Structures are given as C-alpha cells and as structure tokens.
Chain A
Amino acid sequence: MKTGAQLCRVLLLIGASCAGGQHPVDLPVVATSPDAAVPPPAVDPTAPIQPLLAVAAPEGESAAGADEADHWKARTDLIKAPARAPAAAISLPQVMRWKLKNGLDIVLVPRPELPVVSLSLAVKVGTYDEDAGSAGLAEFTASMLRQGTTTRSADDIAEIIDYAGGTLAGDSTDDHSNARCTTLSKELPLCLDLLSDVVVNPVFPEDHVGEIRDQLLAGLKNRFENPDALAAAHFANLIFGDDHPGGRVVAPERLRAITRDDLVRFWKTYYRPNNSVLAVVGAVDPAKVKAAIEERFGAWQSAPIPPRPAFVLPQRKGARLLLVDRDDAPQATVLFGHRGIRHTQPEWFPATLLNYVIGGAGAASRLMADVRTQRGLAYGISSTFGASLFDGAFEVTASTANDKVWEALMAAVNQLRAMKADGPTVEELDAGKVFFSGSYAFKMQGAEEVASAIVAAELHGLGVAYVKQFPVRMSAVGVARAKQVAQSLLRPEELVIVIVGRGDLIAPQIDKAGLKYERIHFRDPISFAERAARRKAAVDASGSTAGRDALALVKKGIEAQGGEQKLRALADLTIVKSGSREQGGATVDLVSTTYFKRPDRMRVEQTLVVPGNKTRMVFVVGPKAIRGSTGNQPLGPLPPVNQARLKEAMFEDINFILLNILDARPPIGLQPVPAVREKGRVLEGVLLKVPSGEWLTLYFDTATHLLARMKSPGEGGDDLINEIDDYRDVGGIKISHHQSSPGDKASEAIVTEVKVNQGLAPALFE
C-alpha cells in the first residue's frame, strides 16, 4: 500500500502516529544509527547486550484473559465472511503489441483514467549471463545507466527528471536489467527521451564508475553486518555452489578489477533491441506513442546475442548445516530450505498456495501459528517459493533467541514434514486462493506496478494472459493436486541450514542433537570452496613449502623487531598513546596507557574525549579474570563478549603478535598471500586464523622485514586496515611509534612514551 506508507511518513514527520509497526520512521537515517552517532564508540565493554527485537503480541492473539474469551465461546451469531465469490480474471484494457524492425518488442496498455504513464524497458541480461570472468557486470552496468549519456550529464538527467516530478531508475535481477521512467502523461515525450537516451547512449563516465563502484562495495561490506543478508548469501552459495550464478560470490577484488571498458563491452553486447522488451502503461494516445517510440528507438542497432552460459545445479543428498558465529548477536537468524522450482513450471501455482499455508500468510500461516504463537520460539518466521526464471529455492527464515534456535528449527522442520505427508486442508487452501485472487488486483492499481508485472510475465515467457488469468489459475488448484505437489517438492530430508548467531550458545544445542556441522566466523569467506581451500592450506602449512615460507616471514619479522631472545627477555612494557578517530562526522580524542606484563597480563587505561564529554575506562586482563570499569567505579566483571574482545586485543597487539603466533598452542596454520607492490615498496603477506576465529593478514615490508600492515578480517570489502610505521629503537627492540587506519572510521595514534622492564607492580594487574 504505497499511499498508506506515504501518508504514514507525513504523519510521523508532523508527530502523528500510524498503525502496526509496519511503517519505518523515514527520518534521516544518520540520526538514529548508533554507528553514525557519537559516542559511544563501537564497543562498550561494560554495557549489557540488548535484544534488537521486542516480542510484540502476535496479531490475532487475545489480550483478554480466559474469562473474557468466554464472551465469544459457542456463539452462533458471530460475523462470518460471506460465501466466496468465484475468482475472476483481471480486466486490463486491450493490450497492444508490436515489434520494431530492429527487433524491440513493445507492449502497450492504455489506461486513460489517470494522467500518469510508466515505461519499463527490460533487457534480457542478468547475473545468469555472467560467468566467473564477468561476475558483477550486469548489476554494475545497470547502475551506471543514469550516470551520463552522449548528450546529458548525470546532473542533467537528475535535474530534468526531478523538475518534471517524475522518477527514473535502473537495476538488475538474475534474468534481466531494467530501466524505468514514470511521469505525468504530459511528460511522456520527456520520459521517452530520457529512457531511450540512458539505454541507447550511455557513456559510463570514469568518475561515476568510481562512485558506483564504491556504492556496490559498500553493499558487499554491509552484507557482513546484516544477519539476514549474510545468511542468504551463505545459503545461496551452499545450494548452488561457486560455479553457478545463483551461488557465485562476487568478491570486492573482482568489483575493483572491473574497468570502464568492461562495462562498455558488456553494454554493447547485451543492450540490444532484439534482446529487449518495452512496456508502456498509462494515459497515452496509442497512435502518437507508436510514432514516438519509433523515433527514439528505431535507430537502435540490433546484434547477435551470446547464449546464456551453461551451468548445472549441484545435486546434493542429505542435510547440510552451517553455523556462522557472531559472538555479539542479540538474536539468531535461521535460514533453511532446499532447491525450488522455476516460475514457468506447472507446479508454480500449487507451490505458491502451499507456501502461503506453510509460511506465507503472516500470523495465519502454520509456521507462525505453531512456532511463534503456540510455542513462543521465534520472533518471526516465514517462507517463500520465489518466482525465478531459473531453479530457485524454497526458503524458511526465522529470527529466534540464541538459546532457542534448535527447538525452533525442529518445530519448523516438523511442520514441513507434516505438510509433505498430509498436504494442506481444504480450508487452508481455500483461504489462500481467496487471498491471492482478491489481493493480486491490489498490486495492479498503479501504472508502474502494471508495467513491471507485464514485463516480468513477458520475460518469463508467460505472456499478458498470465497477468489477467492469475486469480483464475490460482483458484483452479485442487486439494489433491496441492497434496501431490507437497509430496514432490518439499524435501525436509535434504535441508541446507544456515544459522547466524552466538556460537557459544548455539553449538551446544547442535552437539546435543549429534549433528555434523561447519562452524565459521561471521567474517569468513562466503564461498564454501574458498573456506575449504584455506583450511587445507592451513593444515598443510606445517609440512608444506608454502607453510614453511610463511613461517619464515614471521620469524624474519621477529628478527627485525630485535630478535626472539630480546623479545622474550622483555618482562614488562608500558606504552602511552595519543590519538583520535572519526565517528559519524565527529572526532573522538583518545589517550591511553597500556601495560604489558609478559606473558599473560595486560592493563589498559584510556580516556575518550568528545566535546562536552570525557570518559575514563580501565581494563585488566589476567590469566584468570578479565575485568573492567568506567568512570571512578571499582573494577568489575565484564560480559563474556567483551572479555573475548580484550583477549583478542592482547593476542593481536602489534608488538607481540608475531611472538604469540610462534607460541600458540595448538599451532596456528600459516599461508603466504600474494605480495602487494605500492608506493615504491613491496609488502609480503601471511594469512592466518587467530584464536578468536577471525582471519588476519599480516604484511611485512621486504626492505626492513618489519610488520607494516595488519588487515582484518581477510574478507575484502570490509577490510580493517592498520598501517604500522615509524619504528624506533627502545632498549634494542623496534617499537612502532605511529599507527593509522584509513576509511570512514579513520583513526590515528602516536606513541608518546615507551618504558621497558621497569618492574611493574603485580597490584596493577589485580
């Protein structure tokens, strides 16, 4: 309900309220994002972890007590829905279609009622046309369309469409790329001009290539911060595999390698009239629009289109379980399912109804009724069968408390088993049919919605009849057919299950069930194959040449620091630092003193300063306890998550990390990574998995062999880079006096004082 949401935004802005919680407050995101705000900085080790979601009373649940419910018990006069009307076809005005000489297919739906027109031009190219060498190009190309043409700059385009009060957008899916323009119908000529220009004459300006690349990279990065997106990426990779467009992972390095020439070549290859469909919906004069389309698109040159690359869906047997560990996850996200069907398959209608009954009907679905309302195991749970031109997936998603994951998962799987065995009831199926045949028309009110429904049907080879007949075909599904489809399509015995949440709470639940699973850190690579290769390399490290080479780099690094003997002789070390970091457009100043007492004690005293606020914090890490305090309070226990963070910080301290790697038990597997050449220096790298589970890359300057850079977590795109330089000699040991991190959370620190072996009092660490 577009209008409802719009109204709601206006209401919220002026301080009124709207129903439901389904309307996000559309005020500046920056204002509410704790990330952009200043302070508290990212981790407050003393704060309790708050659950993100409060459980609201489920829809339909009685807030009244048992006595109250009696009011409606055994009543025969309650209001009931009237007898169901037979489903009717959607009436669209007569649909006109023709083809230009260059092969462009046109579909025109005149809708004279309102002076609005929507154009949708779909090019039949999407991620399924990519292979490993062209991965990422479909989305990148579509995102570039608005960024400039032979006669209009990106600013011109934005200005023209904004001035007219219209919208112009470009995006891409698995099977097509799309440019859309919606305006008042008086602006149809302008809309046609812009749409044809961005599709036929884009120039992919170099500076905008960089801008769009940054946006796409930010998208990849955000995936690791969003549990739903992360679970979906892992799920797709496990279902489809690396060699299939459905599961292929586009790496940040790949996006960075894409050049303007690649985009131009991709556009030239696929953006052709004989590979495209144009839908025009709205209040237009058919004769005039026909001439206008010929004028704008007639000169567009056709060309042969390469066939879609072949790919096979990996056949899997048995269940597969991946636990993605995020130790600060306030709740768990579960995504499970198996391969699905194509939109064009005859089973699609019964499967969609089946899905409605399982988990597509909100509070009325079986999954919600059982797992949430009855058992209270989930905050929300739903399922989908999708509508892809290619083999899609059947997916169930749920958010649960970390300690209830397994119970919720089992309850949901049992629902699938029951559905597979018995199918839906007649009543359930009827409710679904009525819902679809009634509500489908709701989506067919705006010109833009009609245009995209028609384009989707055209591209999937279903035709306009599909749009018209949708309600009728849905209501023709019988209960026997639904049952048969449930039996053939549901595969509760071959589930791929991805759980993103707290490993410490979730692993014991799976162990108890006695299942095999893979447990990974949430920043680990999404590609299953890449993880397997890393594991293999790490296992081989001790024996292999590669492993020995990597170990040699670490040892050379220690030598450069002053040598193993000198480092081990260091009984204590005190480092005073002064620095700052950017956060949400403001600067946080930071002064810290860190005391190390080797091998296993550390004390950090730090003061954070923002205008009008100064906070002092102390942390002490000892072999038995890790404690902390804020302000002038005495030291107290910390939440387990924050204890873990401090332990990691101690292990990864730049002065001792190399020695710690050498001493780690069990030994840490090491593997070399390709050298980086930059700014007249060469950096040799080592990849390793630190005890916290994160992947870390250490780079050594080949001129000095000193540790020059630390990169975490190893998965690019979200790299946290720490540059380490200005090494100075302190008592025969080289100690870095300057560290910095680039990026939107840039930070910098200077070492102002270093003291070694001054016999620090044990009391300091108690």
Chain B
Amino acid sequence: MNWPVRLALRLAVTSLAALPAVARAAPRQATPSLNVKSWELPNGLQVLFLEDQKAPVAAVHMFYHVGSKDEKVGIRGVAHMFEHLMSRGSDRVPPGDHARLLREAGGLSNAFTTEDVTGFQDVVPPAYVGLALELEAERMRKLHLSPAAVKAERQVVMEERRARVDSNPVTRALAAFRAAAFEGHPYEWVSIGTLDDLQHLTIGDCQRFYDSYYLPNNATVVVVGALGEDDVRRDIARFFGPLARGVVPAQVPPTRKAQLRARDTVVTASVQVPVVVAGYHIPAGGHPDIVPLKVLASVLAQGPSSRLNQRLVLRDHLALGAGGAVGAFEHPGMLVLYAVHPPDRDSRKVREALLGEVARVRTEGLTLKELERAKNQLASQFIYSLESADGLAVQLGSARYTEGDWHRLSETADRLLAVTADDIKRVADTYLVDDHLTVVTLQRPIPAAASGGNER
C-alpha cells in the first residue's frame, strides 16, 4: 500500500501555498503503481484484487462486458432490464434474497447499466466476502427467469423511463440528441431503452441475452478491501471455477456515419422548458485526448464559475441552467453541452451563445487560472473517490472497460495534472469543429395544448 504515499509526494510538487494568482504547470512525475493483482480463471473470468486495509470493508463488484450497445432495435432496454432481473431470484436464492442476505450480513448492494457495461456492486464486512462472491457466482449462470418476473419488471422499468427520461426536459433532450448524433449506431439509444421495445420484450429475448453475455468469459470481478490474497483466490476459484465458459457474440466495433457539416435537428415535445443540446464526436475512452477534453468540459460547463453558466445564465439571462460533460465510452463518444431556457427566449440565440462560448475557447484558449483550477478539481475529486473500497472498485472497473486497461487508473491524476494550454487548444481544434457537431433543439409545440390557471 505504498502507492498512495508516492502519489502524495508527486502531488506535493504542485502545492499552492498562497493565492491562486500565480498558476504553475505541473511537471510530469513517475507513475505510482497500484498494487493490484490480476488473474484469469480457466473459464475466462478476469479477476482484479486490491488489498486495502484502511477500513474493515470489502467491495465485490461484478462487471459484465455488456450494455445497451449490444442491443438492437426491437430489444432496446434489455441490458438495463437485467439490473432488475438479477435480483428476482436464481436457483438457490429466492426473489429479493440477494439484497436481504447481504443486508443481514451488514452489507449493501446496488447496480448500474451503461452503453458498454453492466455493474453489480456489493459492499460487505470482510468476513462476508465469500457470501457476496457466492451470490454473484450463483446469479451469473443460474438466474431463474419467469414470464411473471419479466412482465413485472417491464412495468417497473417503463415507469422508470417515464419518470427519469420523459418527464425531465434535459434527459429527454439528451435522448433526442443521441438519436440524431449516433443515427445507425448502437449509441443511438440511451441504456434505459425505449417504451416501444420495452413493452414487447419477451422472456425469450431476456433468456437469449442472458445466455449470450452473462458468462465468466465476458466478466470481471473486482474485489477491494481488508482481505488477504490467498483467501480471495480460494473463494473465487471455489464459487466461479465450476461455471462453464460460453460463446459471446462477436462484437464488431460500430462505425458512425461520416459527417461533412454540423447536424441541426429540432424536436417538438410537451416539455415545460425548451432545451438546446450541442455535442461533438470525440475519440474512445482510452484515447489520450480524453483527459484534456475532460479538463476543457470542466471549464466550459461544470459548476457556477463555468463559462456557460457565467455567460448564458448570469450575464445574458438567456438560460435557466447550463452544463455538460464528456461522455467517454468504450467506442468513440461525445462531449455534450446543454442549456435549458425559458420559453420566451429565442432558441436560436441560446444556440448561438452556447456555440459562441465553444468558438471563444478555440480562438482564445483558457486562462491559466481556469486551466489549473479545473485540473486541481478533477485530480482532487479523483483522489477523494479512492477513499472508499467501493470507489476504488468502481474506478478499477471503469478503467478496465471504458479505458480498455485498468493499469491506466494509477495514471489518472498524473495525466490530468500534465494537461497544458497547448493540449486544450489542440483538442479544441481537432474535435470542437463543425463536422463533429450535432445540435438538437427541444421545443414546446406551438401553440401548446390548453393549460392555465385562475387569477387568484
């Protein structure tokens, strides 16, 4: 466990003792090594283990290399359905008992689904790591799928889609944006799926999906905590060893349609407020340019001092809120910016101001202060995220699948701190250009259906 100390030493070089008036660029340092042990079972299961004695806690996270990108039209949303179905009972675990057994051991469980990966997260006291591993191994191959469970979860997920996406103007606009920017590409739909496909999902669809992807040779188990390596090796071999390898459908890297100029789409929907979303195609999560792009997105779109907030919300009173983020995926993704504005502001002006701020970054670059602040914030947030076993496991898993290699995790802070103004200029000139741009304007129908109130 000496890696964090070395990390501290490395970071110490960039210490800022006084006011941030004088900003300095961080010199590159030797990369600290995370003492992660990795091995593979004969059935293809990948294991990442990090001993972390900070607290009596153990995180067991299962990552399946399957997400909404592995769906096709007709079954959009099936990957996310498994987030729910995986708790609906397996051969030796009645419905709901996965969570109940863990809770009775003093643990908690959770799950998430992205375009590329589905994650199941258990946190337990170290003495119960065997229980968590046994439960995960059980549901990897022995899920008890029933028509009734599929039907019930379909309803729950459709409700979730309505609540999370359809009733929120921003998520709704982002979904419309995806459809425009990734037409004909599996990133075209968001992972929660579409109502149309969800309501027609059958148990056959689910069973086929499960048998294709929930396989040891398509998964990584990440274990972090106050544990000994020998015990972890023994438990993993015992519970996962007997599972048979399967055939994972070949995954052909998707390609997006070539684009010569900016795409502009107007979508009409009954939302309370209109939204403008602008996004640029960027490379895959493992590409070195993703790091400067994250710094750029932070300055442009994150927090009260971000340029979009300063300009669109505070200065010009054009928008109610503005933000954005880098969508770093396994395959080339997007840098997305958005602004939510009152209906009486002209969408074209909002769009103009938003793209104006992008243009300003390209012509003027960032101030040294903005650059250093963003780097410090991103590096700090990253380090804070390593404080818990749970956070370490999440970071290891996403480095493995989004960046393609878990070794990159230990370089994250380094690479953030090494970003220069030239890097920002270069990535802005390369990616924030018209033939990478898609703009979607989500508008209210005109005239709207009648609604109003009395005058009291």
Contact = CB atoms under 8 A, between A and B. Distances in A.
Q: Do A and B bind each other?
A: yes
8 contacts: A8-B112, A18-B113, A25-B171, A30-B273, A79-B131, A162-B373, A447-B387, A648-B456
Interface in A251-301: 283
Residue from the set A2, A20, A438, A445 with the largest chain B CB neighbour count within 10 Å: A438
A56 B114 CA distance: 23
A115 B383 contact: yes
Nearest to B389: A445
Contacts of A610: 343-344
B456 A36 contact: no
A60 B89 CA distance: 10
B117 to A, nearest CB: 9
Contacts of B305: 162
A150 interface: no
B168 A31 contact: yes
Given A81-B105, A608-B452, A645-B456, A57 B112 contact: no
A166 B11 CA distance: 14
Contacts of A584: 273, 320, 342
Interface in A562-594: 584-587, 590, 592
Contact of A64 (B16, B88, B93, B380): B88
Given A59-B99, A65-B148, A436-B106, A163 B134 contact: no
A1 B115 CA distance: 23
The range of chain A's interface size is 35 or more
A437 B112 contact: no
B56 A88 contact: yes
A165 B376 contact: yes
Contact of B317 (A3, A25, A585): A585
Interface of B: 1, 4-5, 7-8, 11-12, 14-17, 19-20, 52-57, 80, 83-84, 88-89, 92-97, 99-101, 103-108, 110-115, 121, 123-125, 127-128, 130-131, 134-135, 138, 144, 146, 148-149, 151-153, 156, 159-160, 163-164, 167-171, 174-175, 178, 190-192, 272-273, 275, 303, 305, 317, 320-323, 325, 327, 333-334, 336, 340, 342-344, 369, 372-373, 376-381, 383-391, 394, 444, 446-448, 450-456
Contacts of B138: 79
B139 to A, nearest CB: 10
Q: Which 5 A-B pairs have the closest CB atoms?
A: A438-B106, A28-B321, A165-B380, A115-B8, A60-B96
Contact of A364 (B100, B135, B272): B100
A19 B54 contact: no
Given A17-B112, A43-B454, A114-B387, 8 more contacts: A31-B272, A37-B273, A60-B99, A63-B95, A68-B146, A184-B11, A186-B11, A446-B387
A590 B456 CA distance: 12
Nearest to A164: B376
Contacts of A38: 272-273, 342-344
A160 B19 contact: yes
B450 A615 contact: yes
Contacts of B124: 438
Contacts of B20: 159-160, 163-164
Contacts of A230: none
Nearest to A166: B380
A41 B159 contact: no
Contacts of A606: 452, 454-455
Contacts of B131: 79, 81-82
Contacts of A361: 103
B454 A31 contact: no
Nearest to A37: B272
Nearest to B447: A613
Most chain B CB within 10 A, of A84, A190, A437, A439, is at A439
B194 to A, nearest CB: 13
A78 B89 CA distance: 11
A34 interface: yes
Contact of A1 (B4, B88, B108, B149): B108
B190 A15 contact: yes
B92 A75 contact: yes
Classify the interface of chain B: helix, strand, loop or mixed: mixed
Interface centre among B153, B272, B303 (most CB of A within 10 A): B272
B83 to A, nearest CB: 5
A248 B221 CA distance: 53
B111 to A, nearest CB: 4
Which of B106, B160, B192, B334 has the most chain A CB within a 10 Å cutoff?
Answer: B106
B80 A17 contact: yes
A79 B92 contact: yes
B123 to A, nearest CB: 6
B100 A115 contact: no
Given A186-B12, A611-B343, A434 B104 contact: yes
A619 B148 contact: no
Nearest to A189: B17
A44 B99 contact: no
Contact of A4 (B113, B121, B144): B121
A604 B320 contact: no
Nearest to A91: B56
A626 to B, nearest CB: 11
Interface string A62-99: 11110011011001011111101100101100000000
Contacts of B450: 615-616, 630-631
A305 to B, nearest CB: 34
Contact of A12 (B17, B53, B97, B171): B171
Contact of A184 (B56, B169, B383, B385): B383
Contact of A585 (B55, B320, B385): B320
A31 B159 CA distance: 20
Contacts of A65: 146, 148
Contact of A68 (B19, B148, B153): B148
Contacts of A116: 383-384, 387
B383 A114 contact: yes
Contacts of A631: 450
Given A187-B15, A441-B57, A611 B452 contact: no
A435 interface: yes
Contacts of A27: 168, 170-171, 321, 323
Contact of A113 (B1, B89, B342): B1
A7 B148 contact: no
A40 interface: yes
A355 B333 CA distance: 48
B342 A17 contact: no
B103 to A, nearest CB: 6
Given A10-B325, A17-B164, A162-B377, A115 B7 contact: yes
A115 B4 CA distance: 7
A79 B134 contact: yes
A7 B94 contact: no
B383 A604 contact: no
B271 to A, nearest CB: 9
A645 B128 CA distance: 58
B384 A446 contact: yes
A64 B148 contact: yes
A113 B52 CA distance: 9
Contacts of B92: 75, 77-79
Contacts of B383: 114-116, 184
A678 interface: no
Contacts of A187: 15-16
Interface string A18-55: 11110001011111101011111111110100000010
A23 to B, nearest CB: 9
Given A1-B108, A113-B54, A586 B342 contact: yes
Contacts of B97: 60, 78-79
Interface in A648-662: 648-649, 652
A160 B290 CA distance: 27
Given A2-B388, A64-B88, A114-B4, A72 B123 contact: no
A75 B97 CA distance: 14
A2 B391 contact: yes
A521 interface: no
